[in-house]
Structure 1
Amino acid sequence: MAKVLVLGGGIGGTEAAIALRKEGFEVSLVSDKPYLYIYPISIWIPTGEAKFEDVIIPLDKFARRWGVNLIIDRVEKIDAQNKKVHLKSGKVLEDFDYLVVALGQTKRKEKGLENTLSICGSPEEALKIRDRLVELIAKGEGKIAFGFGGNPKDKTAVRGRPVFEVLFNVDYHLSRLGIRDRFELTFFAPMPKPGERLGEKALKMLDQMFQKYGIKKITGKKIKEFKENGVLFEDDTFLESDLIIYTPAGWGNPVFADSGFPLNEAGFIKIEETCQVVGYEWAYAIGDSAAIEGPPWTAKQGHLAEVMGHITAHNIAVKEGKKSGELKSYKEHINILCLMDMGWRGGGFAYRSDKRAMLIPIPVLGHIMKKAWGVYYKLYKLGKIPKII
């Protein structure tokens, strides 16, 4: 039985592990955390609608259910030339036939980034956003800035939806408390049309929502520096803020830099359509770790990472002669698919492909649907119900 080593216990890595086990492979999973953090539903931590324990899945339970060898440790180095993986504990992993890299990405460096908090960063950052918001609510007033950045070297490495979701959830939370009029909420982004990946109709709808809820907008201005009390733009205008919730564009994990794997300009691992690392028949990269190629609106998303995990498992099985058929490509599955939550006001179903771009409002029910998805996701990952989404 071929042995597969999966690096990363996130959305893509765990899905790859499930798919590989279903194909009959022996799987070892390395994660630097003892839990899977479910980013899509962590958006409710800042407003207190969800607790930390509500958005995690213990990996020991996951591993037992799927028969995966779990290793809680941090990957320190990947040595592609010698086919070895070095861990923080000092352990060296080399007893594997295939490697699947799903270590995610890191933040693109920006001046003063330490003065911001990201909903897409470490789990601890979501808790810090919650605590800072509680402080401002106790104070009774405040200015909060919400934004996300771009990466000219890899335009797929952008996280916009979670920022919009936290913004609208915070707006609703403050309104529910009856103190929204005492807070100034501002959205900012360096690109002229943030959210344009979803199409012009979606952009107009976002603008309408900003106007409806009294949210200010600053776009098309590059960010010069983040300071403790606000955001300084390239034209030296300053956005004063008590709390900056900002998600920078992604950058390749530092571990990739001296791995020997081919990288693009932003430090992501170059792959074939089959998810195989270019030049390495035994190595695959999926999700945020990979240099994804597609239409201009292509974005790294969790559902694509999961699809890539299944494609990788299928392609390895074909290579090993465990199943017949052709090798599959991730490119035919590229699309943008998400349910953008706005609190109990509802949400919006967003979809983008080569043929269609839409954002459909779903009042009230949209929020319930996302809540239901969170329940489904945890049950599925623990093997209690089949995959339906």
Structure 2
Amino acid sequence: MSNRPASIAVLGAGFAGLSTIRALRKRDPGAEITLVAPRAELHYLPGIIWIPSGLRKREDLVIALDGFLRRQGVRFHAAEVTGLADGGRTVQTTAGGLANDALVIATGGRFIKKLPGIEHAITPCEGIAAAERIRDRLRDLQGGTIAVGFAGNPNEPSAMRGGPMFEFLFVIDQQLRREGRRDRFELVFFNPSKEPGNRLGPKAVKFLLAEMARRGIRTHLGHKMQRFEADKVVTEGGEFSADLILFMPGMTGNAWFDATELPRSAGGLIQADAHCRVPGFDKVYVAGDSGSFPGPDWMPKQAHMADLQAAAAAANLLGDLAGKRSSDTFQVELMCIVDAIDQGTLVWRTPQRNLLLPSTRLFHWAKRGFEWKYLRQYR
């Protein structure tokens, strides 16, 4: 170790993985860093809410990382991860094994697809292709019922993505109004909770439900999901017809985790401590959606949280490599702008505060400005 740079493997080219690389390189210009991912691309998923309206296209949201990796002096290992060996010191991939002195797991999560008939629903956050399907279906529909909903992982309260579904709901409503077609559609929001969005805070729940009422969006709340059919949503509290179903299930860990001895939470994510270390594994860290972290049950699975965890993981990794056990942690903070094409609502939550600022055009443009600034560092 003393005669060569430390070899660090970062798994995943999403928010957590790329933020880890930036934090590592800022602190250690000489570290040998290798990124492992199927493609050297960042898919900026927060922007997919604007694909159905045409405000964004695929090419706006897929960022080639060749230039970023070259500037950062990072090697790229094009492969899918299949497992770990030697206590994490070897990453097993579809392109062979990769040795490392320290490892950061940031491969995200996967959606739980166990609900019967879920193939009849589109899961937006699966990626850009899903948003394009929504765009095309909306274009072809002449009228009918559009159902939008989400659920969670009962064993992992934080493993859900509700925010984007509120955005798709309001964006579609506004888009149909712009097109002069809103009167031909019924929009229905469904959720097993009676207080959807409660992870955003009590103020947000009241705002979201009031906004749905103002927009004439019907709600079907407080009933456990049973199944989907090609033209129907079925819950324990009744069923309703739907011509287009958008549904975000809860999240769990990647399938490749099952091929390892990594400690897992009840919800299937990698167990982590407050410093992003994986207990029982030397110099193995986790950041972003892959991890189950100590903290409040409203801790979000979002890019901002992944960035904060990545910074802590990078600091502790370099400290551990240097033999100086560090204890950096991360602030638990939920920050989002719930957008509706031409206006947005700011929601901010920490353990101490919960703030909601009403819809304005300013927040819509702030969200677009943040996207430009965030992506600029990778272009």
TM (norm. structure 1) is 0.92
Deviations 1:203-226 (A, max 9, x none): 111111111111111111111001
Query: Which of 355, 360, 364 pairs up with 1:367?
Result: 364
Letter of the 1:328 partner, please give it: D
Q: Secondary structure at the match of 2:126?
A: coil
Check the 8 A contact 1:287/1:304 in 2, yes or no: yes
Superposition misfits of 4+ residues, deviation over 4 angstroms: none
In 2, the alpha carbon distance for the partners of 1:245 and 1:279 equals: 40
Q: Secondary structure at the match of 1:308?
A: helix
Query: Which of 90, 94, 107 pairs up with 1:84?
Result: 90
Q: Name structure 1 gaps, 5 residues minimum.
A: 383-389
| Residue 125 of structure 2 corresponds to residue 120 of structure 1 | yes
Give the C-alpha shift of residue 41 in structure 1. Answer: 1.3
Q: Which residue of 1 aligns with 2:115?
A: 110
Check the 8 A contact 2:149/2:247 in 1, yes or no: yes
Q: 1:275 to 1:372 in 2, by over 3 A?
A: same
Q: Which residue of 1 aligns with 2:285?
A: 284
RMSD across aligned positions (CA): 1.6
Q: 1:53 to 1:199 in 2, by over 3 A?
A: same
Deviations 1:274-311 (A, max 9, x none): 11111112210111000122113222221111111111
Q: Which residue of 2 aligns with 1:387?
A: none
| Residue 103 of structure 2 corresponds to residue 99 of structure 1 | yes
In 2, the alpha carbon distance for the partners of 1:100 and 1:289 equals: 10
In 2, the alpha carbon distance for the partners of 1:290 and 1:310 equals: 14
Query: Which of 336, 340, 343 pairs up with 2:341?
Result: 343
Check the 8 A contact 1:187/1:215 in 2, yes or no: yes
Give the C-alpha shift of residue 19 in structure 1. Answer: 1.1
Q: 1:48 to 1:82 in 2, by over 3 A?
A: closer
Letter of the 1:279 partner, please give it: G
| Residue 184 of structure 2 corresponds to residue 182 of structure 1 | yes
In 2, the alpha carbon distance for the partners of 1:55 and 1:150 equals: 26
In 2, the alpha carbon distance for the partners of 1:85 and 1:326 equals: 24
Q: Which residue of 1 aligns with 2:329?
A: 329
Query: Which of 5, 8, 23 pairs up with 1:4?
Result: 8
In 1, the alpha carbon distance for the partners of 2:212 and 2:359 equals: 17
In 1, the alpha carbon distance for the partners of 2:363 and 2:340 equals: 8
May I ask how many residue pairs the two structures share in their alignment? 372
Q: Which residue of 2 aligns with 1:249?
A: 250
Deviations 1:244-281 (A, max 9, x none): 11111101111111211110111111112111111112
Q: Name structure 2 gaps, 5 residues minimum.
A: none
Letter of the 2:98 partner, please give it: L
Check the 8 A contact 1:100/1:285 in 2, yes or no: yes
Deviations 1:107-141 (A, max 9, x none): 113222211112211332111111111111xxx21
Q: Which residue of 2 aligns with 1:297?
A: 298
Q: 1:78 to 1:47 in 2, by over 3 A?
A: farther
Q: Which residue of 1 aligns with 2:143?
A: 141
Letter of the 2:14 partner, please give it: G
Letter of the 1:2 partner, please give it: A
In 2, the alpha carbon distance for the partners of 1:176 and 1:65 equals: 43
Letter of the 1:259 partner, please give it: T
Give the C-alpha shift of residue 34 in structure 1. Answer: 3.2
TM (norm. structure 2) is 0.94
